[in-house]
Amino acid sequence: MTPEGKHAAAPAPAPFDPDAASTGQRLALGQLAAACFAFAYPEDPPQLPEKTALSLGFVTPGERTEHSVIWEDHPAGQAVQALAWGRLEYSLEQNQHLAHIRLLVDPAVRRRGLGRTVLAALTKRAQLAGHTTLTFDTTDRAPAGERFARHFGAVPALINCRSQLDLAQVPDGLLDAWLTRPTGCTCGQRCRNPTWNDWPI
């Protein structure tokens, strides 16, 4: 904190290249993603940081991803820690006005301006690339994300609702009844995996 009681200015984010990064840096981003997921979904199985670390360099043909990270300033020899991480994703072939942002801030250091700083860096890069519309996702499991979005003038565009079935509350035998094929059914798995045609346009 500063003498006036305000947080000091957030460190400047640095560009991040997954292909040139060290194993420790990639793992640090995986650990940050896992920490954010556990904060929002404490009842769910944890994410594996190693899996996220391996996936960082995967980009489909025709798309581009840019990363911006704020690192903890640790003495040499200590493990690398990522405090905030932003990712800008966009297509090089279609909808070139559009870009998607993913922004993660370590729950232990939120409300210190880190997210704002990373968002500003990614927004500037998006503008330089000619993108005029930015999208990103929030979840009501972490309400601060929606407040953050509205603070910067974002408006809801697509709302997804998810249902959760607590299997511990399902009566004995009901799951077996749901999975039992109708008497006389000879179509195998096809009756549970239909193919839909002639969608109305």
Q: Provide the CATH number for the domain around residue 123.
A: 3.40.630.30
- pLDDT tens digits, 69-98: 999 986 665 668 999 999 999 999 999 999
Number of compact structural domains in the chain: 1
Q: How does pLDDT run across 11-36, given as a tens digit for each residue?
A: 889 999 999 999 999 999 999 999 99
**DSSP-derived 3-state class of residue 69:** strand
170 lies in a domain? no
Residue 44 domain-assigned (yes or no): yes
Whether the pTM exceeds 0.85: the reply is: no
Q: Give the residues of the chain that fall short of pLDDT 70.
A: 1-8, 74-79, 184-201
Contact 85, 68 (CB under 8 A): yes
- Distant-in-sequence, close-in-space partners of 47: CB < 8 Å, separation ≥ 6: 30, 33, 34, 37, 38
In a domain, 133, yes or no: yes
Q: What is the pLDDT of residue 191?
A: 52
Residue 178 lies in a domain: no
- For residue 38, being part of any structural domain is answered with yes
Residue 172 within a domain: no
Burial of 103 (0-12, 13-18, 19+ CB in 10 A): buried
Where in the sequence is the domain holding 99, given as residue range(s)?
Answer: 14-151
